[in-house]
């Protein structure tokens, strides 16, 4: 890829995505900027990347500018970079600048473009992504939606793919994605912890129980992905008549396991909708 990638913000998710980008294109064209300069320098040093002194410089020099900042910081950052982007678009047209990539929960493409437009930067290509924390170990799920102005989807997908699986969705589905894959790792971690607790209850040591639980979840997920079989079919393969597994499945059903998981995703989705409605409401 030609051009520079800049990450405004150097938290875990921004660093995970930049690590993936570095795997795709090398770290020489990647830069960080952060209100905490030491944090930006540490993130850059870990990758062999560079540091820019300000968000304005990041917006001036980046081909892709990632916004890896907390949602409450977004208005100030957009206000700061809008005049710079406006000047770039006027001078370059569809040249060096490619897109602003945001991952702030609840911030719609329309809201980002509206605030940029107030600063004179109307028509900026904006891509909204929803990654999840397994991107930290290159096993993330990254949903992606883009404004009509953005035309380099395949290139951006290539940059992100080293951090996990990338999937294009309509923006209207991103709240559902947030409830499922965005919040889902926490639910899975709770399940792994509970599996391990069950193993300890049955007499296994804590370290072995946790190792077996984590590998069981990892292997089971791989079976779903790699065989293409429905999870119900794979479950039935384990359930021998009158055996141990069907006894455990019955216990889960009595406890309302499926409904509890569905309710957790539903609650996370509804909260994402609420946050989005609040943040995208016109002033």
Question: Of 144, 176, 208, which residue sits at a domain end?
Answer: 176
Query: How many structural domains comprise the chain?
Result: 2
Q: Answer yes or no: do 165 and 209 share one domain.
A: no
Could you tell me if residue 275 is inside a domain?
no
Could you tell me if residue 280 is inside a domain?
no
Could you tell me if residue 213 is inside a domain?
yes
Residue 1: what pLDDT?
53
Summarised one tens digit per residue, pLDDT across range 157-180 is 999 999 999 999 999 999 999 999
Could you tell me if residue 193 is inside a domain?
yes
Q: Answer yes or no: do 171 and 189 share one domain.
A: no
Q: Answer yes or no: do 131 and 211 share one domain.
A: no
Q: Answer yes or no: do 73 and 26 share one domain.
A: yes
Q: Answer yes or no: do 130 and 161 share one domain.
A: yes
Residue 197: what pLDDT?
98
Q: Answer yes or no: do 152 and 231 share one domain.
A: no
Query: Residue 192's domain spans which residues?
Result: 184-270
Could you tell me if residue 191 is inside a domain?
yes
Let me know: does 157 contact 181? Beta carbons within 8 Å.
Answer: no
Residue 116: what pLDDT?
94
Question: Of 176, 204, 224, which residue sits at a domain end?
Answer: 176
Reported as a pLDDT band with limits 50, 70 and 90, residue 120 is: confident
Summarised one tens digit per residue, pLDDT across range 220-247 is 999 999 999 999 999 999 999 999 999 9
Q: Answer yes or no: do 11 and 123 share one domain.
A: yes
pLDDT surpasses 60 at 94: no
Reported as a pLDDT band with limits 50, 70 and 90, residue 8 is: very high
Mean pLDDT of all residues in 73-101: 87
Token digits of residue 7 = 């990450």
Could you tell me if residue 278 is inside a domain?
no
Reported as a pLDDT band with limits 50, 70 and 90, residue 96 is: confident
Q: Answer yes or no: do 127 and 220 share one domain.
A: no
Q: Answer yes or no: do 48 and 167 share one domain.
A: yes
Q: SS3 sequence, the chain? A: CCCCEEEECCCHHHHHHHHHHHHHHCHHHEEEECCCHHHHHHHHHHHCCEECCCHHHHHHHCCEEEECCCHHHHHHHHHHHHHHHHHHHHHHCCCCCCEEEECCCCCCHHHHHHHHHHCCCCCCCEEEEECCHHHHHCCEEEEEEECCCCCCHHHHHHHHHHHEEEEECCHHHHHHHHHHHHCHHHHHHHHHHHHHHHHHHCCCCHHHHHHHHHHHHHHHHHHHHHHCCCHHHHHHHHCCCCCHHHHHHHHHHHCCHHHHHHHHHHHHHHHHHHHHHHHHCCC
Mean pLDDT of all residues in 59-74: 92
Q: Model-level pTM greater than 0.75? A: yes
**Looking at 31-45, 90-104, 127-141, 224-238, which range is the least confident one?**
90-104
Average model confidence (pLDDT) across the chain:
93
Question: Of 176, 192, 217, which residue sits at a domain end?
Answer: 176
């Amino acid at each position: 890829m030609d051009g520079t990638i800049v990450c405004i913000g150097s938290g875990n998710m921004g660093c995970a995505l930049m690590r993936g980008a570095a795997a795709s294109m090398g770290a020489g064209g990647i830069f960080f900027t952060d209100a905490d300069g030491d944090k930006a320098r540490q993130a850059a040093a870990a990758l062999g990347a560079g540091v820019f002194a300000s968000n304005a410089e990041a917006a001036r020099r980046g081909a892709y500018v990632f916004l890896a900042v907390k949602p409450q910081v977004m208005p100030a950052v957009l206000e700061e970079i809008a005049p710079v982007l406006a000047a770039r678009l006027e001078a370059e047209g569809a040249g060096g600048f490619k897109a602003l990539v945001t991952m702030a929960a609840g911030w719609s493409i329309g809201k980002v473009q509206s605030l940029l437009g107030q600063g004179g930067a109307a028509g900026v290509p904006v891509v909204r992504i929803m990654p999840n924390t397994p991107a930290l170990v290159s096993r993330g799920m990254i949903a992606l939606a883009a404004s009509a102005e953005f035309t380099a989807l395949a290139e951006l997908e290539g940059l992100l793919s080293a951090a996990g699986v990338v999937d294009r969705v309509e923006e209207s589905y991103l709240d559902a994605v947030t409830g499922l894959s965005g919040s889902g790792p926490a639910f899975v971690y709770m399940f792994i912890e509970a599996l391990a607790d069950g193993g300890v209850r049955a007499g296994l040591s804590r370290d072995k129980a946790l190792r077996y639980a984590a590998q069981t979840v990892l292997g089971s997920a791989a079976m779903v992905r790699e065989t293409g079989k429905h999870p119900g079919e794979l479950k039935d393969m384990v359930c021998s008549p009158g055996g141990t597994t069907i006894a455990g499945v019955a216990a889960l059903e009595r406890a309302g396991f499926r409904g509890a998981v569905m309710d957790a995703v539903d609650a996370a989705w509804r909260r994402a909708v609420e946050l989005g409605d609040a943040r995208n409401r016109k002033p």
